[in-house]
Homo-oligomer: A and B are copies of this chain.
């Protein structure tokens, strides 16, 4: 199925033409597909039309313009925050083409999958996916499909998804030239993201907030800069992502705090052999992560 790819007559609708949605649109247009886009920002749509990577576009407040695009789309890709993704599907699903496939780009999966699949029309399919790509800047004007070349693409089917949809979304990721495509359950995805991404952001924010001495900047080395780069964080998106993955993230925080407490205990007890052992273990594990 994947080898067959997606026919060039297939029409993609991107809802939310930001950094990620825009990069999808440009990648699909480069591959010869017809792309439509809906966004709340008129200048984003105007930019897509002018640059030619979207064929038709509409601002989301103008239903007379958006409904025809929704009705014509063969695949809808939601480039929105998770709660907005859920709300959008609930609002517009009656306009979807029968047997259409919807996917998303959001960074939490159990929440989005459960909410959408419980509410969705039975004759269309929502298959969640997560392009693990980004940039330090946002917005369609910074979008670039090259961000996918070194990135992972995770597909997170639930029991109610079909192999047809899985192969369709795999083909989408292949067209977009992701480096690696993986399949995880929504829970496996959220545990992985809870550890690798959310916990690391909790740590960076906490580290930044635990010292208010502005003179430290004079002495800062690269390792401190590396650890705290992600302390520069979009609080609207990340507070939503944290809450939508609340139970897993709390568990990841607790696991981490146990390890910090272990080191603290070796200091209090001056237990050098255990402290060394913890460092040897971390060094061994880190070696696997060297690129």
- Residues of chain A having any CB pair with chain B under 8 Å: 132, 152, 154, 180, 182, 192, 195-197, 199-214, 216-221, 223-233, 235-236, 238-239, 242-243, 246, 249-250, 252-264, 267-268, 270, 272, 275-283, 285-289, 291
A282-B246 contact given A218-B152, A288-B217, CB 8 Å threshold: no
- Other-chain residue from B213, B239, B256, B272 in contact with A272 (beta carbon distance below 8 A): B239
- Other-chain residue from B208, B224, B230, B268 in contact with A197 (beta carbon distance below 8 A): B224
Q: B residues within 8 A CB of A246?
A: 267, 270
Of residues A202, A210, A233, A253, which shows the largest number of chain B Cβ atoms within 10 Å of its Cβ?
Answer: A210
Q: With the chains together, A207 CA to B225 CA distance in Å?
A: 17
- Other-chain residue from B236, B239, B243, B286 in contact with A208 (beta carbon distance below 8 A): B286
Q: With the chains together, A249 CA to B275 CA distance in Å?
A: 14
Q: B residues within 8 A CB of A211?
A: 195, 252, 255
Which 10 interchain pairs have the tightest Cβ spacing? A206-B259, A235-B279, A226-B226, A208-B282, A205-B282, A235-B276, A231-B282, A231-B286, A210-B255, A210-B256
Chain A binding site: helix, strand, loop or mixed by DSSP?
Answer: helix
Q: B residues within 8 A CB of A255?
A: 210-211
Q: With the chains together, A275 CA to B201 CA distance in Å?
A: 12
Q: With the chains together, A220 CA to B286 CA distance in Å?
A: 12
Q: Is the CB of B208 within 8 A of A260?
A: no
Q: List 22 A-B contacts (CB under 8 A).
A: A196-B219, A202-B260, A203-B227, A206-B259, A209-B262, A209-B278, A210-B255, A211-B252, A214-B288, A217-B289, A223-B230, A231-B285, A231-B286, A232-B283, A232-B286, A233-B282, A235-B277, A235-B279, A235-B283, A236-B276, A238-B279, A250-B264
Q: B residues within 8 A CB of A219?
A: 132, 152, 154, 182, 192, 196
Q: For the complex formed, measure the closest distance between the CB of A20 and the CB atoms of chain B, giving whole angstroms.
A: 14
Q: Is the CB of B239 within 8 A of A276?
A: yes
Q: For the complex formed, measure the closest distance between the CB of A11 and the CB atoms of chain B, giving whole angstroms.
A: 31
A199-B209 contact given A243-B272, A279-B239, CB 8 Å threshold: no
Q: Is the CB of A200 within 8 A of B182?
A: no
Q: Is the CB of B192 within 8 A of A199?
A: no
Q: B residues within 8 A CB of A195?
A: 210-211, 213, 216
